[in-house]
């Protein structure tokens, strides 16, 4: 059975193994001992913290295969970005140059350095082991975070973003970086991503261009990937957009991947989720696929179940109850895995 739970201190070896599979461009999880241990420590600290307003807490969750104890994936939520270090991206805009006398009217796309998302929450660090990319595991991993957001709203901002990994080829070559970033940073794409992933972002503030960039002055291959996601990231983008995230015209400063956003309460799974009472039964589960989570902060659990009938009382088997750490009569949060229109 697959279940989502908060990351534990003894997950280091498995998390590092996942980091070795992420590849270039995945800034939030790199195969570096300091970064991996730091992420685990920060998450443990966040779950213990008494929170009245969102700060720099990082909540990390893993997807565990209960049959063998293997960690099959990771996902996270940042409570508020850009509070102690500036949060950078490019805002995509338009400048019009016209001359009535010459009969010229040109609309030019621009990239302007922005900190517009300061204080927003962020869904982040989503990675699923290739061996487990089946059986709706990706949907469980990604959407379980919405159950946590719905259960503990005071720990997060009213608005949330997701940075999508931008396009790079099978060799880690980023056309956008080669056409723009390299001219200012004088380093390889992988090195810049690695430094940013470790939290060393001072170099960004020191070296980034401060004036708008005219995209028509970039190489054609750089222009073509602005707002384009990595092939492996396309399913994640489609999933988030089905839940209500939208592209409002922001892209990453390294690879030009899109930053999509929404209000937390506009996320479909948050808005439609509701409480139900547990009835533990040996009867086989059946019906539509739902997300189900408990209501415990430190021992948060989420999994997929099949439900039919009255959802004010839900029948689950003992295995599901054990995975969610709930007992007869406990309250759980439930929501369809996908909207009715996408069944």
Active site residues: 230
Q: Tell me how far apart the alpha carbons of residues 16 and 127 are, in angstroms, rounded to a whole number.
A: 12
> Which string of DSSP letters, residue by residue, matches 165-224?
PB---TT---HHIIIIIHHHH-S-HHHHHHHHHTT--HHHHHHS--S-EEGGGS-HHHHH
**Token reading at 68:** 């063998």
Positive or negative, the CA dihedral 26, 4, 235, 113 is negative
Residue 78: which of 42, 128, 34 has the closest Cα?
42
Residue 250: which of 86, 154, 83, 110 has the closest Cα?
110
Q: Tell me how far apart the alpha carbons of residues 114 and 88 are, in angstroms, rounded to a whole number.
A: 6
Residue 290: which of 274, 73, 298 has the closest Cα?
274
């Amino acid at each position: 059975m697959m279940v989502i739970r908060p990351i534990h201190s003894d997950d280091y070896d498995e998390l590092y193994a996942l980091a070795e599979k992420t590849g270039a461009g995945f800034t939030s999880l790199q195969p570096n001992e300091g970064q991996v241990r730091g992420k685990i420590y920060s998450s443990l600290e966040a779950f213990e913290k008494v929170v009245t307003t969102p700060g720099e807490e990082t909540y990390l969750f893993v997807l565990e295969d209960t049959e063998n104890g293997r960690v099959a994936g990771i996902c996270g939520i940042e409570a508020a970005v850009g509070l102690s270090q500036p949060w950078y991206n490019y805002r995509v805009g338009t400048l019009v140059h016209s001359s009535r006398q010459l009969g010229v009217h040109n609309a030019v796309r621009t990239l302007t350095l922005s900190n517009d998302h300061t204080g927003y929450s962020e869904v982040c660090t989503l990675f699923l082991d290739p061996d487990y990319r089946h059986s709706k595991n990706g949907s469980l991993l990604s959407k379980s975070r919405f159950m946590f957001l719905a259960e503990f709203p005071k720990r997060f901002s009213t608005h949330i973003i997701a940075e999508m990994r931008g396009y790079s080829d099978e060799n880690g070559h980023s056309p956008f970086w080669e056409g723009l970033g390299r001219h200012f940073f004088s380093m390889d794409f992988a090195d810049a991503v690695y430094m940013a992933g470790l939290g060393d972002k001072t170099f960004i503030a020191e070296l980034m261009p401060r004036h708008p960039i005219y995209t028509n002055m970039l190489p054609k291959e750089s222009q073509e990937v602005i707002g384009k996601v990595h092939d492996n990231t396309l399913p994640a983008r489609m999933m988030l957009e089905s839940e209500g995230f939208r592209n409002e015209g922001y892209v990453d400063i390294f690879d030009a991947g899109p930053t999509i956003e929404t209000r937390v309460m506009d996320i479909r799974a948050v808005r439609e989720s509701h409480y139900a009472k547990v009835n533990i039964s040996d009867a086989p589960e059946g019906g539509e696929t739902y997300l189900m989570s408990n209501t415990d902060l430190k021992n948060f659990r989420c999994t997929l179940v099949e439900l039919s009938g009255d959802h004010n009382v839900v029948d689950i088997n003992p295995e599901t109850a054990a995975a969610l750490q709930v007992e007869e009569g406990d309250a759980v949060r439930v929501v369809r895995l996908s909207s009715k229109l996408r069944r």
